[in-house]
Amino acid sequence: MTKNKILEVKALKQYFQSGSTTIKAVDNISFDVYEGETLGLVGESGCGKSTTGRSIINLYNITAGEIIFKGKNVHTNKSKKEKQQFNREMQMIFQDPYASLNPRMTAGEIISEGFKIHGLYRNKQERQKKIYELLHAVGLNSEHANRYAHEFSGGQRQRLGIARALSLDPSFIIADEPISALDVSIQAQVVNLLKDLQKERGLTYLFIAHDLSMVKYISDRIAVMYRGKILEIGKADDIYHHPVHPYTKSLLSAIPLPDPLSEQRRVRIPYEHQEMPENATYYEVDEEHFVYGTEQVVNTWISSR
Amino acid sequence: MAKKVIEVKDLHVHFKTFSGTVQAVRGVNFELFEGETLAIVGESGSGKSVTSNALMKLIPQPPGIYAAGEILLNGTDLIPLTDKEMSKIRGNDISMIFQDPMTSLNPTMKVGKQITEVILQHKTISRSEAKIKAIELLNKVGIPFPEKRYSQYPHEFSGGMRQRVVIAIALAADPKLLIADEPTTALDVTIQAQILELMKEIQETSKTSIIFITHDLGVVANVADRVAVMYAGQIVEYGTVNDIFYNPKHPYTWGLLGSMPDLDNEAEERLYTIPGTPPDLIHPPKGDAFAARNEFALAIDYEMEPPMFKVSDTHYAKTWLLHEQSPNIEMPHIVRKRIDSFLAKEAMHHD
């Protein structure tokens, strides 16, 4: 299988001005996302993972860098037509299913709002049919179309958020912590749904989360972020079983597993951040497995692996 | 034998609402010994937080009602006590750590004062002595530069450091029982690991008993000696941490264990899910409350509530599957496989 790059992020910087200080929320990151895969983006709160997602979907004016989606630069889309096309292709699922749905709109209205904006399904029957089809796709039923958001449980609301994201037949979905607000048993339902939809519709996901075990399960590749930089990126199995960067190792060593006997022996590896000089860059340590650092430092990490 | 710190007998807590009486806790029984950690696991709405708030008598009345049962602290029932009597027990005997360190600290008061306030409330010592004790506590919970931190405000602390302050406040009057309600849910994994380490360290030095409320089974495996799995206001399975994780008997526990991915999951494997959502506790279902979501439900589950069946001296489960006449049903394959792989790893470690 040849891999097509659907998204290329090149030297992205997203700074915010807060009084006289500049916050470097995202500081010079580059990565590609291939068509049909799930790229997991993990890191602690404040590391810039959500900002990265929001910059990609054009919710912020980026400070520097390029975001190329299907060969076109996202931030130089000029005409209304180009912008609309982009908005149809890329959609987002948000963390909080309570705050991200308008309480004064019915489920049907929420899902079909995009149709009006993009002038789709003008015929009422056609529109109705599409709404029902989307509700079924996410495991809800047609009767739910006339209900308001507060009449749904948390898991159902997140399904509604997914239906809305799917309404314009996008090819790329950014899921920003889509399951963190849900109960364990409901999390599994939503993750299975996301996987099924990916298979049926050939979707590409950027899955942003801090729950590492869930990210490992859903992702093909994983990028680990810390203080606005991607420190390590590679195939999910390589990141989990053969991590190179000390931060990744520390992060992995902190995950508690549902296995009491091994928990008694688990030793957390503390992490001490080491500021990298200007010439630090990405080094390929295995196939498709990159680590950020200087050549010398990366070599010492590899030898201590 | 270790000293029994608290014993809860047949506790029922109800809430009166416009749409009817919510039976949030429906007959909970457990006991806790000195220096032991009991984890209460369950989904939101299972009654785990209501149970822990009830132990502190923090249920607002109205709308809450302690409908039945006893909470015995060193043999004294807490339910009939007045607010004044309870305020002596809170802090001294039982204290509590909440989920969100942002909202459980007063943002307009220096951190040091929030600690000395508790000390002065419970102990007859001077202000300067209280200050020394507060700085000792900050040091004990692993806050660097405690003298400087003493006169700072909560917003000057990071999330993990704030949770350490909350723990320091909870420990200020040397309680025998510490209730921790999702204390690490709002924190990052690395910070979570540090807070769990701290709590275990404190427990070792001061023999505090801990009730740990969480929905994260990884955290439970890490901290608990014993585990109570709650569903729809009842404990459905109760046992040592090894009983629950390596020999689970209740289908709800199977579901919880199966819905959590571990790091060795194959990408192609689907997660085991519990279909549907928890029942409405205004009208709790007849029979077993879990029946509607249980793929292994028997006809009797819709008719009669199962009793607690004894699996071993330490292990109990509330499911008809343990009845001698019930068909022999095995746990789902994915759960079995994972437990076997954990145990195989364990065996390898010993070789």
- Under the phi-then-psi rule, with left for phi > 0, alpha for psi from -120 to 50, and beta for the rest, what region is A43? left
Note whether A11 and A30 are within 8 A (CB): yes
Measured between CB atoms, which of A185, A192, A210 is closest to B270? A192
From A140, A114, A192, select the one nearest A149 (Cα to Cα). A140
Query: What is A5-249's CATH number?
Result: 3.40.50.300
| End residue of a domain, out of B224, B243, B276 | B224
- The verdict on B149 and B201 lying in the same domain is yes
Q: Tell me how far apart the alpha carbons of residues A58 and B259 are, in angstroms, rounded to a whole number.
A: 34
User: Cβ–Cβ of B188/A44 closer than 8 Å?
Assistant: yes
User: Cβ–Cβ of A260/B189 closer than 8 Å?
Assistant: no
Residue-range domain boundaries for chain A: 5-249
- What SS3 string covers chain A? CCCCEEEEEEEEEEEEEECCEEEEEEEEEEEEEECCCEEEEECCCCCCHHHHHHHHCCCCCCCEEEEEECCEEHHHCCCHHHHHHHHHHEEEECCCCCCCCCCCCEHHHHHHHHHHHHCCCCCHHHHHHHHHHHHHHCCCCHHHHHCEHHHCCHHHHHHHHHHHHHCCCCCEEEEECCCCCCCHHHHHHHHHHHHHHHHHHCCEEEEEECCHHHHHHHCCEEEEEECCEEEEEEEHHHHHHCCCCHHHHHHHHCCCCCCHHHHCCCCCCCCCCCCCCCCCEEEEEECCEEEEECHHHHHHHHHCC
Q: Does B272 touch chain A (CB under 8 A)?
A: yes
Measured between CB atoms, which of B224, B245, B272 is closest to A188? B272
- The verdict on B146 and B237 lying in the same domain is no
Q: Which residues of A touch B192 (CB under 8 A)?
A: 254, 256
From A19, A1, A14, A55, select the one nearest A206 (Cα to Cα). A55
From A207, A226, A232, A203, select the one nearest A218 (Cα to Cα). A207
Average confidence (pLDDT) over B100-119:
89
Q: What is the pLDDT of residues B133-179, one digit of tens each?
A: 999 889 888 888 999 999 999 998 888 888 889 988 988 888 899 99
Burial class (CB in 10 A: 0-12, 13-18, 19+), B271: buried
Q: Tell me how far apart the alpha carbons of residues B156 and A114 are, in angstroms, rounded to a whole number.
A: 43
Q: What is the pLDDT of residues B314-350, one digit of tens each?
A: 999 999 999 988 888 889 888 898 899 888 888 888 7
- The verdict on B9 and B156 lying in the same domain is yes
Measured between CB atoms, which of B219, B241, B271 is closest to A256? B219
Q: CA A226, A232, A233, A234 torsion: positive or negative?
A: negative
User: Cβ–Cβ of A188/B219 closer than 8 Å?
Assistant: no
| End residue of a domain, out of B178, B200, B224 | B224
Mutate to test the interface with B, among A222, A259, A271 (most CBs of B within 10 A): A259
- The verdict on B113 and B217 lying in the same domain is yes
- Under the phi-then-psi rule, with left for phi > 0, alpha for psi from -120 to 50, and beta for the rest, what region is B206? alpha
Task: Give yes or no for residue B265 having a pLDDT over 70.
Answer: no
- The verdict on B48 and B115 lying in the same domain is yes
Q: What is the pLDDT along chain A (305 residues), one digit of tens a residue?
A: 568 999 999 999 999 988 888 889 999 999 999 999 999 999 988 889 999 999 999 888 899 999 999 988 888 867 888 888 899 999 999 888 888 899 999 999 999 999 988 888 888 898 999 999 999 888 888 888 999 988 888 888 899 999 999 999 999 999 998 888 777 778 888 898 999 999 999 999 999 988 788 888 899 999 999 999 999 999 999 999 899 999 999 999 988 888 898 888 888 888 888 888 888 889 998 889 999 998 888 888 988 77
Measured between CB atoms, which of B193, B262, B263 is closest to A268? B193
Q: Which domain holds residue B38?
A: 4-224
> How many residues make up chain A in this entry?
305
Note whether A244 and A291 are within 8 A (CB): yes
Look at B25-29, B123-127, B231-235, B310-314 and tell me which has the smallest mean pLDDT.
B123-127
- The verdict on B143 and B281 lying in the same domain is no
What is the CATH number for B157?
A: 3.40.50.300
Task: Give yes or no for residue B243 having a pLDDT over 90.
Answer: yes
Note whether A175 and A215 are within 8 A (CB): no
Phi, psi of B37 (to 5 degrees): -115, 125
User: Cβ–Cβ of B189/A254 closer than 8 Å?
Assistant: yes
From B151, B120, B152, B148, select the one nearest B133 (Cα to Cα). B120
**How many structural domains is chain B composed of?**
2
User: Cβ–Cβ of A256/B221 closer than 8 Å?
Assistant: yes
Q: Which residue of A has its CA nearest to B192?
A: A254
Q: Which residue of B has its CA nearest to A271?
A: B190
User: Cβ–Cβ of B261/A216 closer than 8 Å?
Assistant: yes
- The verdict on B237 and B157 lying in the same domain is no
| End residue of a domain, out of B199, B224, B249 | B224
Q: What is the pLDDT of residues B178-216, one digit of tens each?
A: 999 988 887 788 888 888 988 898 899 888 999 999 988
* 3-state SS class at B21: strand
Among B residues 240-269, those touching chain A with beta carbons less than 8 Å apart? 241-242, 245-246, 255-263, 265, 267
Q: Which residues of B touch A227 (CB under 8 A)?
A: none
Task: Give yes or no for residue B239 having a pLDDT over 60.
Answer: yes
